[in-house]
Structure 1
Amino acid sequence: MSLCGLDFGTSNSTIGVIQSDQAVMVPLEQHPITGSPETTLPSALFFDFHSDEISFGRKAIDSYTNGHFGRLLRSMKSILGSSQMEEGTQIKTRKYLFSEIIAFFLTSLKERAESFCQQDIDSVVLGRPVHFNDHNAELDRVAEEKLRTIAESIGFKNISFQHEPIAAAHDYEQQIKQEEIALIIDMGGGTSDFTIFRLSPSLKNKADRHDDILANHGIHIGGTDFDRHLSLATVMNQFGMHVQYKDKPGVEMPKHFYVDLATWHRIHLLYSRKTLWSLQDLRLRMADTRPIDRLLKLIQQKDGHRLAALVEQAKIDLSALPQTDISLAFLEESPSLSCLVTGRQLSDAIDHDLQRVFHAIDETLNQAELKPGDISTIFTTGGSTALHAVDQYIRSRFPNATCVQGDLFNSVGKGLVLEAQRRYC
């Protein structure tokens, strides 16, 4: 029996296998600039309208960025657990269900892993957030069943699930030397999940760890939410978000255009004649037409995903820099336009969501009936844990705990492989 652990992420995905009795993350593609093997595959698909081919990951993003005629889709995991799952989307002359699109992507992951292993893979442990939907238990159940059905449709025969922060705990447990009460913080692209786990070198191969899980909690807030808030607080001003009507002082451009433009899985909704007609009509009524012209050009060029990627990169850069520039040179204005973004702007933009995340961590402690001082280790994974505000919170809330940063993008995947080995071997 050949097995794998598959972490289908909102922003990035991984797949791992067992080789020589060790969990190994599959090199999924080469970095387009450095040529180095990458164990992450951006959760992106590009439908090329000329060749009718579908590309994935960095190749998909590069095809879109380089102006190939087609359609880019990202953040498909965000659709799971929402009512949009059954809506589908139009690509050229065909309407695809989102389940079909997710299946295309997961098939690509599976095939890359099988090529790496040189054998078919029939068993999988799939990662899942603690909640696909925070507020609707039925939608949460349906999301897992939908993912199971997709996995079956692409050839997996043995399918099971593990909560992503629990998987990350299994990965961390491989390196510890003594018993610990660990708080696992997994902040990914779409969700933030938390587990308090009793870990020990003597327990790591135990089949049933239910009694060692002291709490498990999550909230549907992640990196793509932070991207959206940063975009709305900064670069959207260059596209007219706060421009007022000529004859209605105090009344601004409708905000829904900018919310869609700042939300990965809604950007494509703007690429319609109806949107262009609405914006052209609004332009005639606005006090300043220049940023509206810029918005029209952005949509006509179908460059919304390019802008979203630049905002995402700015957020990442601000983890290490006090400020950065978002270049809008692709709009070919003279002189070339850019938007300065500061760390303070990022902190202010995401503060409300971060407070909700921090409150959810406190709720996790309450579930376990523990105090911050009872936690011996904080283990972090997921790209959003690199944010300065998250690091500050952890160190101030848990001053006596040892902070361990895991592999930001592979810890969950490694833990899922270990779980697959326990379940299927």
Structure 2
Amino acid sequence: MSLSWCAIDFGTSNSAVAVPDAAARGGSRLVVLEDSQPTMPTAVFYFAEHPPLAPGAEPPRAVGRAAIAAYVDGYDGRLMRSMKSLLGSSLFEQSTDVGGGHALRYRDVVTGYLRHLKAAAEHAAGTSPAASVTRAVIGRPVFFVDDDPVRDATAQAALEACARDAGLRELAFQYEPIAAAFDHEAGCTHEELVLVADIGGGTSDFSIVRVGPQRRDRLERADDILGNHGVHVAGTDFDRRLELEALLPALGYRSHGPASGGRAAREVPSAVYHDLATWHLINTVYAPARVAELQRMASWYADPAHHRRLMQVLRERLGHELAARTEAAKIDVAQLHHGDAAKLDEQAEVRIALDAVEAGLSVRLGERQAMAALDAELERIVDAARQTVRDAGLAPARIDTLYFTGGSTGLAPLVARLAAAFPQARAVRGDRLSSVARGLGLHALRLFGPVASAR
């Protein structure tokens, strides 16, 4: 079997890689990326403190869990996450400060991360430098960008360019939810219609796929894909909404300035808070000119504590820490919820400590408060699932299986809402973080494996 291919699930929050293995189920296996785990956070940390660099050299970096650990441990530098969300945006070709007086294009950050995944595949497969991995199947969301086909095509082209810069020459793309359907199909004993709900960090994607033991070895599956649809709403949007709802009011979000001259108090400007709650925009609030402007706005706040806390976050660059604390609180509050809105516990809440902002400061996130904050996002996702079925010309009752994958399917209220929309379907949970990569590996084997070569 050729070792010259891999399958890459480049996710918003987590990534995984599959390589050929004749002894494994389906002919491919997942690569152990770090800490004995087959998945790795999609994160890069660039160290600001390092020896002098040669001309054109990039600063030293850590990836995955090591990147997050470097950030948590307080190393001076720049943490990059949610890189996938930059594809198709105007920021992609722009440069960003990574510390120590160095700047890199966002494009180069993505390329470097893909190069790391490629190297991990080569190491795991035992491929020699003379026969490196040059072919790959790469997953992509149904829509990188909602309702904008031009930007969506631009996003895939950007990802392809980065993959080629990383050394991959022969590329194929596959929708991530369809790849998850292929992983589910590997264990099917009869034909069924599957609605795949792939809900990760950046997108919520749905596909209806006809699967079964008589179909799994076919290379051309176009007639088995009955519909696909998606929305650019997922885990990072949940975090953003909860940060605005629970954390940032302590820093002045939606607060007002003092009333004066007989006029009602006005709400303080909110742009800085929305940027603080958006991963790929957090670092924009640290620009010296913007910090200076916000510093001059102290008189705009009726409560001086709000402005003092905001400036502490900007001076100490605590934006990513606030985002991480929000994500942790989301997970904690989700564990309080069992999916029945009628049974929300008014007393159930989690405490979010913000001592880095102000000694003794904390905020509370209640179960009902969290579900109310996420209601619009959850409903958009459920509507996207219903739209997928309508686009396929099917009644909801025709769906045999509702297959869940993606990190955000760990949010119980979301899974409960989707299951309620298709009550006759059997709910199946795939591996939240690796089923897409496994399915991409199956697809890569059909494209690049020995059977494909013999065609």
Q: TM-score range by the shorter chain?
A: over 0.9
Which of 294, 306, 319 matches 2:334? 319
Q: How does 1:197-236 map to 2 (within 5 A)?
A: 197-236=209-248
Q: How does 1:205-284 map to 2 (within 5 A)?
A: 205-247=217-259, 249-284=264-299
2:411 is equivalent to residue 387 of structure 1: yes
Q: Which residue of 2 aligns with 1:24?
A: 29
Q: Which residue of 1 aligns with 2:56?
A: none
Say if 2:402 and 2:419, in contact at 8 Å, map to a contact too: no
CA distance in 1, matches of 2:361, 2:82: 28
SS at match of 1:84: coil
Q: Which residue of 1 aligns with 2:65?
A: 58
Which of structures 1 and 2 has the bigger CA Rg?
2
Q: Which residue of 2 aligns with 1:117?
A: 125
Which of 7, 10, 14 matches 1:8? 10
CA distance in 1, matches of 2:247, 2:422: 35
Opposite residue 64 of structure 1, the aligned amino acid is Y
Say if 1:82 and 1:133, in contact at 8 Å, map to a contact too: no
Alpha-carbon shift at residue 337 of structure 1 (Å): 1.8
Alpha-carbon shift at residue 21 of structure 1 (Å): 4.6
Opposite residue 89 of structure 1, the aligned amino acid is T
Q: How does 1:12-411 map to 2 (within 5 A)?
A: 12-22=14-24, 23-30=28-35, 37-51=36-50, 52-92=59-99, 93-119=101-127, 120-247=132-259, 249-321=264-336, 322-331=348-357, 333=359, 336-411=360-435
Structure 2 length-normalised TM = 0.89
Q: Which residue of 2 aligns with 1:33?
A: none
CA distance in 1, matches of 2:442, 2:332: 33
CA distance in 1, matches of 2:30, 2:85: 24
SS at match of 1:143: helix
SS at match of 2:228: strand
1:296-332 Cα distance to aligned partner (Å, 9 max, x none):
1111111111110110111122221243221112335
Say if 2:88 and 2:158, in contact at 8 Å, map to a contact too: no
C-alpha RMSD of the superposition: 1.4
CA distance in 2, matches of 1:24, 1:108: 18
Unpaired runs of 5+ in structure 1? 31-36
CA distance in 1, matches of 2:75, 2:175: 38
SS at match of 1:234: helix
Opposite residue 37 of structure 2, the aligned amino acid is E
Unpaired runs of 5+ in structure 2? 51-58, 337-347, 450-455
Over the matched positions of the two proteins, sequence identity in percent amounts to: 39
Alpha-carbon shift at residue 159 of structure 1 (Å): 0.8
1:310-366 Cα distance to aligned partner (Å, 9 max, x none):
101111222212432211123351xx2222112222211121122221111111111
Say if 1:223 and 1:384, in contact at 8 Å, map to a contact too: yes
SS at match of 2:335: coil
SS at match of 1:237: helix
CA distance in 1, matches of 2:415, 2:162: 36
CA distance in 1, matches of 2:139, 2:5: 14
Between the two proteins, the alignment pairs up a number of residues equal to 417
CA distance in 2, matches of 1:318, 1:114: 40
Say if 1:16 and 1:26, in contact at 8 Å, map to a contact too: yes
SS at match of 2:334: coil
Alpha-carbon shift at residue 81 of structure 1 (Å): 2.0
Opposite residue 29 of structure 2, the aligned amino acid is V
Alpha-carbon shift at residue 225 of structure 1 (Å): 0.8
